Structure 1
Amino acid sequence: GGGGGGGARMRAGGGGVSRGAGPWVGRPLEVDAPAENQPLAMRRLFVFILLFGSIALAPRANAQQLNCTVSVNYSALTGNEFQFLGELREELVRYLNDRSWTGDVFQDRERINCSFQIVFTFAEGLSRFQAQIVVGASRPIYGTQQRTTVFLVQDDNWTFEYGQGRNLVYSPNSFDSFISVIDFYAFLILGYDYDSFDELGGQEFFEEAREIFELGRGVNAEGWFLVGDERTRGALITQLLDPRFDPLRKAHFQYHYGVLDHFATDHEQAWDDAMAIIRALNELYQDFNTRRFATDIFFSAKHEEIALLLADFPERADAYELLIEMDTQHQTTYDEMVQ
C-alpha cells in the first residue's frame, strides 16, 4: 500500500540523496517495462506516460539538482530590437541547472527533469514585458523505464522588467519581477518532487516559495495577490501550505509512491490504493464545496493517467462518479474510462 514515509529524497549523512525505505532503496531506476500478460490498460498507461509524461533532457556536466530545458518565444514582438531575447534561453538554462537549490546532493540520474516555456506576448518599450510561462516536471516510475508528470502549470499573468545584457543573479532577500518568478517555480518543482517520494517531504521548498510570494505581495507586484480562489501564485502556495490541504499533498505522495511505483508488481493493490486516494480527494472537495487551484494542478497533470490506470479496475464506475464530481473539466477523459 501507499503508507506514509516511503521512497524519499531524504538527507543521508552528508546530505546525499537516498530514497528511504520502500522500492527505491538500493535498486536501479531502469527496470524492464511491463510484461505482456499484464492488463491491457496498464500497458496502455505506460505507453501514455512514455509519450506524454516524459520530459527527456540531455545531462549537463555541472548541473546540480535540476535538469531543465528552456524555450523562449518572442515572435509576437515585432522589430529587430528584441533579438537580445534570444540569449535568454541559455541564460536561464545556466541559472536553473548550475546553481544548487538545496543542500541535498543528487547523483546525475537523480536530477529533476523539468521544463520552462516562456512566450512573450507584449512589450512596453525595450525592457518591460508581458509573458506566459508553462512549467512542468517529471520523475521516474519505479520498475519501469517510464516517467510521470508530477507538476504542470500555466501562468498567464506575468509582467516583468528584463533589459539587454542583464545577468541573472539569485537574490533571495529581494524581489525581482523576472527572476523571482523563476525562483518561485523552481522551488515548486522541488517541493512537488520531494512530496512524491516522501509524505509532505517538500515542505521546506514550499516554504521557500512562500517567502518569495511574501516579497512580491509586499511590493504589490502583479500576479502575487491572494484573491479568493483565483489561479494566482499566491493562491497556489497558500493552499499548498494550508494544513487543510494536507490530504491533497498526502494523496500526491500516495499516488506516486503507492500506486505508480508499485503498479508493475501489484496492480490490484495499486488499484485499491488509487480508489482510496480518489475517496480522500473527494472528501477534501466536499469540505471546501468547490475546486481549488492546488487540486486543479493535480488533476491537470494526472487526469489522463488516472483514466488509463483505472480502465480495467473492477470498481472503476465508483471511481468515475467521484472523479466527475470533483473534476468536471476532464469528464470527457473519464467517460472513456468506463466505456
Structure 2
Amino acid sequence: MKKVFVLIIALLSGVAAFAQEFRCNVTVSHQKIQGANRQMFRTMQADIYEFMNNRKWTEHVYTYDEKIRCNILIRLDEQISSDEFRGSIQVQLTRPVFGSSYETTVLNIKDNDFRCKYVEFQPLEFNETSNRDNLTNILAFYAYIVLGFDYDTFSPEGGTPFFEKAQSIVNNSQNASEKGWKAFESERNRYWLIENVLNKSYSDFRKCMYSYHRQGLDVMAQKPEEGRSTIATSLRDIQSVFRRRPSLYILQMFFDAKSDEIVNIFSKSFPDERNRVVAILNEVDPSNGSKYKKITESEDL
C-alpha cells in the first residue's frame, strides 16, 4: 500500500513539473456564416483550446494558480471555401495584482487579418521553422506575445526570449499568402507589433510595463500613494516613446488596455498629481481626452 501511495505522489509530481503555462479561454464565434456545419466550429474551438492550454510553451514550471490568464475570441465572418475562413482574432491578457483580488488587463488586442484553414479532426500542428499552417502560426505568435508581456510585468525585459520566438514566426511567414505578417501591408499588424516591442529605440515602453505593474500596481494594496506615484512616473516613459514616434502600434495597444484603469487610479489622486498625469495623457492619447477629463473632475482629496 505504501508503494502505491509513493507511486501516486511521484505521478502527481511529474504532472506538476510539466504543468502548462496558460489558463486560456477560447471562443469561436461563427454567427455570420450561414448554413455551415455548426459541429465543426465547436470542434475547432475545442482544438484551439487544447492547442493553447495543453502545449508546453516554456521550460518553466507553473502551479495552477501561477498559470497565465488570457482569452482568445475568434470571430469568423466569411467561409471562403469548405475549409478556409476569414475574420478576426482578439487576444486579452490579464494579470493578478499582488495583495488584492483585482486583475489588471495587460493586453487587449484585436487582429483583423485572421485567415485560416481548418479541417475537422485534423490535428493542429505547429512548426517553428516553417509557415505551413497559418492558424497555428497565428496562435503560436500570440501565445509568445502573451508570455512576453506577462514576463515583462514581473522583471525588466523578462519577456525577451518569448518576443524573439514571436519574431521568428514573423520572419518565417514573410512568404505567406495571408495578410498580417509583412511590413508594407499595414502599420498595425503582427509585423509591427513585434518590431515595436523589440526595437531598442522604444525600450522605454517595456520599462513602463515593468514599473507600472511590478513597482506600481503591486505596491498599491499596501502603499497606495507610493504605487500611484510610480505609475505616474511610468507614464513619462510612454510620453518619451510617443515623442519619438507618435503613431506606434504599441502605444495604441497600451491605452486600449489601460485607459479606464488609469482613470480609476488617478481619480483618487492629489490635485497636482492628477493635473500632471492628465497633461501627459492628453498629449499621448488625445482620442481618449474626454475620458481623462473625469480625472480632474473628481473631488479633491
CA distance in 2, matches of 1:118, 1:80: 16
CA distance in 2, matches of 1:222, 1:308: 37
Partner of 1:20: none
- How far 1:219 sits from its partner (Å)? 3.1
Matching of residues 232-243 of structure 1 within 5 Å: 232-243=189-200
Paired positions, count: 278
CA distance in 2, matches of 1:319, 1:190: 29
1:168 correspondence with 2:137 = no
- How far 1:64 sits from its partner (Å)? 0.6
Select the residue among 149, 174, 182 that pairs with 2:139.
Answer: 182
In the superposition, the TM-score normalised over structure 1's length comes to 0.79
Select the residue among 145, 151, 168 that pairs with 1:194.
Answer: 151
CA distance in 2, matches of 1:139, 1:199: 16
Structure with a larger share of its residues in helix = 2
Partner of 2:294: 336
In the superposition, the TM-score normalised over structure 2's length comes to 0.88
- How far 1:221 sits from its partner (Å)? 3.3
Partner of 2:183: 226
SS at match of 2:107: strand
Contact preservation (8 Å) 2:26, 2:49: yes
Matching of residues 1-339 of structure 1 within 5 Å: 64-81=20-37, 83-175=39-131, 176-227=133-184, 230-288=187-245, 290-314=246-270, 315-339=273-297
- How far 1:228 sits from its partner (Å)? 8.5
CA distance in 1, matches of 2:186, 2:147: 24
- How far 1:216 sits from its partner (Å)? 1.3
C-alpha distance after superposition, 1:251-308 (max 9, x if no partner): 00100011100011112212221221112211221122x1310111111111111111
CA distance in 2, matches of 1:319, 1:145: 26
CA distance in 2, matches of 1:284, 1:113: 28
Larger radius of gyration: 2
Contact preservation (8 Å) 1:229, 1:292: no
CA distance in 1, matches of 2:33, 2:128: 31
Contact preservation (8 Å) 1:228, 1:235: no
Aligned letter for 1:317? N
Contact preservation (8 Å) 1:63, 1:97: no
Partner of 2:7: none
Alpha-carbon RMSD: 1.6
Contact preservation (8 Å) 1:134, 1:154: yes
SS at match of 2:52: helix
Partner of 1:51: none
CA distance in 1, matches of 2:185, 2:156: 27
CA distance in 2, matches of 1:95, 1:63: 14
C-alpha distance after superposition, 1:95-129 (max 9, x if no partner): 11111100011111100011110110011121111
Contact preservation (8 Å) 2:207, 2:237: no
Larger CA deviation: 151-160 vs 73-82: 73-82
CA distance in 2, matches of 1:307, 1:260: 14
Report 1 or 2 for greater relative contact order, CA contacts < 8 Å, sequence distance ≥ 6: 1
CA distance in 2, matches of 1:146, 1:312: 17
Structure 1 unaligned segments of length 5 or more: list them: 1-59
SS at match of 1:136: strand
Partner of 2:3: none
1:316–1:227: structure 2 CA closer, same or farther, 3 Å change rule? Answer: farther
Larger CA deviation: 149-158 vs 274-283: 274-283
